[in-house]
Amino acid sequence: MNLSASMNDAGDGFELLMSGNMQDFNICCRRDNHYPEHKLIPLSELFDVNYGLNLELNKLEKDSSGINFVSRTSKNNGVSARVKLKDGISPCQQLC
């Protein structure tokens, strides 16, 4: 899957540019169409990128007091629902 995004929330001419895929994602910044360093930085140098547990929302029980279910939605920082914690699965099983 190829991804690309551009973000400029402040309206100050500063823009964050991102492109790539999960294995090779690049990020750079520019101000007023000027790239200060002309350098793309792999996302893996900024964050630890890990795949989730591949749980499907339609197979989980929704619970308003449960844990956040993070999906690919662009709304609400990716949180698309709150779900009941399943027995035997830790929310950070692969990371902890």
The pLDDT of residue 83 is 94
Element (H, E) at 81: strand 79-83
The pLDDT of residue 65 is 92
pLDDT higher than threshold 70 for residue 5: no
What are the backbone dihedrals phi and psi of residue 78, each rounded to the nearest 5 degrees, phi first?
A: 90, -10
Q: Which two tokens stand for residue 60?
A: 């989980």
Tokens 């690049």: give the residue: 26
Element (H, E) at 30: strand 25-31
The pLDDT of residue 78 is 86
Q: How many residues does the chain have?
A: 96
Asked if 80 and 71 touch (Cβ cutoff 8 Å), the reply is: yes
Cα separation of 62 and 60, whole Å? Answer: 6
Compute the Cα dihedral for 23, 71, 91, 54 and give only its sign: negative
Each residue's pLDDT tens digit, 16-45: 566 666 556 666 666 665 555 556 667 677
The pLDDT of residue 82 is 95
Q: Taking the mean position of all CA atoms in its chain, how far away is CA 43? A: 11
pTM: 0.49
The pLDDT of residue 1 is 45
